[in-house]
Amino acid sequence: MNSINQRKLDHIHIASEGGEVDRQQYYFDRIHLSHRALPELNLAEVDPSVRFMGKGLSFPLLISSMTGGADEELVKINRNLAIAAEAEGVALAVGSQRVLRSDDAARASFELRKHAPNALLLGNLGAVQLNYDMGFADCEAVIAALEADGLYLHLNPLHEAVQPEGDTDFSNLRSKIAVIVQTLKKPVVVKEVGAGISTKDIEHLLAAGIKYIDVAGSGGTSWSRVESCRSDEPELGELFSDWGIPTPVALRLVKPYRREVRVIASGGIRSGIDMAKSMILGASLCGIARPFLNPARESAEAVREMIRRLKREFTIAMFLLGTGAIKDIKGNEELILDEYWH
């Protein structure tokens, strides 16, 4: 089997069966919100809908990048996610599409537009590959394969550093990202994969022309921990398993730049309440991945049930905060009662 396909299968099996890879830090629990006993709202009239990249979403949920490849299990996962995203009106980002270069059979896992004709779909490549053998043509090719609305370029230096097959030359990437932004006709989103985006990173990305950032902070799935399960030296991945900037802190770091960039929050978001807190901290969308993995291995309906649960939780949180529309909650830090970071 193609080595990238095998790695993707390894990742899926470790993430779905190994509870220890979800760090369960619950950083969002350290933020307390101001409950409204008299919300002066009808719950039935609370509107959680948003627009992002020109498309309407039923609420600000992005099913974050997980997988894709030639194996039938990977094809099934992405198909179920796409069907559910279309039916429930949410966004979907696929896992890295680098595998398309080495295995054309993987294309089936990314041909999702037929399952999601109206959904917001985002392609995905590792930014570090721009320092190896990938360039603008590859970015265009993965967008075409997915018929995507935009492209994720993910940054994962920790993941690559502890991965047995890791690509670790992250030098001079800003200028190469800038070229992609300037030449690609679709929006480019830069994200981490679970260790957060710092202030210096934000400034570099803005200088490269990036208008969308997914902070992807720590607190949820640890890819360092995932790789420790695949490595002959598991101690290294375990040591760095909690490395990174917690997602709420990363959102705060982006605050001074909100007029210049739209922010996606991901990393340890596990409920509609966490989503509400992310929106209060300035996010435009909230990305969730691992909680969808096992439902996606089961069926599209199981994924839809998870989406509906999150939407209900998020809508009730809006109601209890006295916020009837997204404009009332987004960036409204007056809704925070207190925070503690012990």
Calpha distance 204→190 (Å, rounded): 11
DSSP track, 181-199: HHH-SS-EEEE-SSS---H
Q: Which of 209, 191, 204, 220 is nearest to 96 (CA)?
A: 191
So what CATH class is 3-339? alpha beta
- In tens, the pLDDT along 285-305 reads 999 999 999 999 999 999 999
Contacts 24+ apart (CB under 8 A), 231-235: 231/162, 231/163, 231/164, 232/164
The domain segmentation of the chain, as residue ranges, is: 3-339
Block residue for tokens 């209890």? 320
pLDDT at 1 exceeding the cut of 80: no
Helix (H) or strand (E) holding 122: strand 121-126
Q: What is the mean pLDDT of the chain?
A: 92
Residue 163 pLDDT grade (very low, low, confident, very high; cuts 50, 70, 90): confident
CA distance 220 to 57: 24
Predicted local confidence at residue 233, as pLDDT: 80
pTM above 0.85, yes or no: yes
Amino acid identity, position 43 = L
Among the residue ranges 142-146, 229-233, 260-264, the one predicted with the least confidence is 229-233
Q: Could you give the CA distance from residue 32 to residue 40 in angstroms, rounded to a whole number?
A: 21
Amino acid at site 247: T
Is 76 a residue whose pLDDT tops 90? yes
Q: Looking at residues 11-39, what average pLDDT do you find?
A: 78
Q: Assess whether pLDDT exceeds 70 at residue 223.
A: yes
Cβ-Cβ contacts under 8 Å for 234 (sequence gap 6 or more): 228
Which residues on neighbouring strands pair with residue 31, listed in sequence order?
A: 339
pLDDT for 342 = 46
Q: What letter represents residue 228's amino acid?
A: S
Res. 226 pLDDT band, cuts 50 70 90: confident
Instruction: Work out the pLDDT band at 57, boundaries 50, 70, 90.
Output: very high
pLDDT at 339 over 80: no
User: Can you give the length of the chain in residues?
Assistant: 342
Predicted confidence at residue 201, as pLDDT, reads 97
pLDDT, tens digit, for every residue of 234-285? 898 889 988 999 999 999 999 999 999 999 999 999 999 999 999 999 999 9
SS3 269: coil
pLDDT exceeds 70 at position 177? yes
- Least confident interval from 22-26, 245-249, 258-262, 323-327: 22-26
Confidence at residue 224, expressed as pLDDT on a 0 to 100 scale: 79
Residues 30 and 35: their CA atoms lie apart, in Å, by 15
Cα(83)–Cα(89) distance, integer angstroms: 10
At residue 341 the predicted structure's pLDDT band, cuts being 50, 70 and 90, is low
| 152-161 mean pLDDT | 95
In the chain, % of residues over pLDDT 70: 92
pLDDT at 4 over 80: no
User: What is the pLDDT, as a whole number, of residue 220?
Assistant: 81
Alpha-carbon distances, residue 192 vs 33, 208, 332 (angstroms): 27, 16, 25
Grouping H, G, I as helix, E, B as strand and the rest as coil, residue 36 is coil
Q: How far apart are CA 171 and CA 168, in angstroms?
A: 9
Residue 27 pLDDT > 50: yes
Report the SS3 class of residue 31: strand
State whether residue 245 is helix, strand or coil: coil
Cα–Cα distance measured from residue 168 to residue 122, given in angstroms and rounded to the nearest whole number: 25
Radius of gyration of the chain (CA): 19
Q: Which residue, 120, 54, 44, is CA-closest to 86?
A: 120
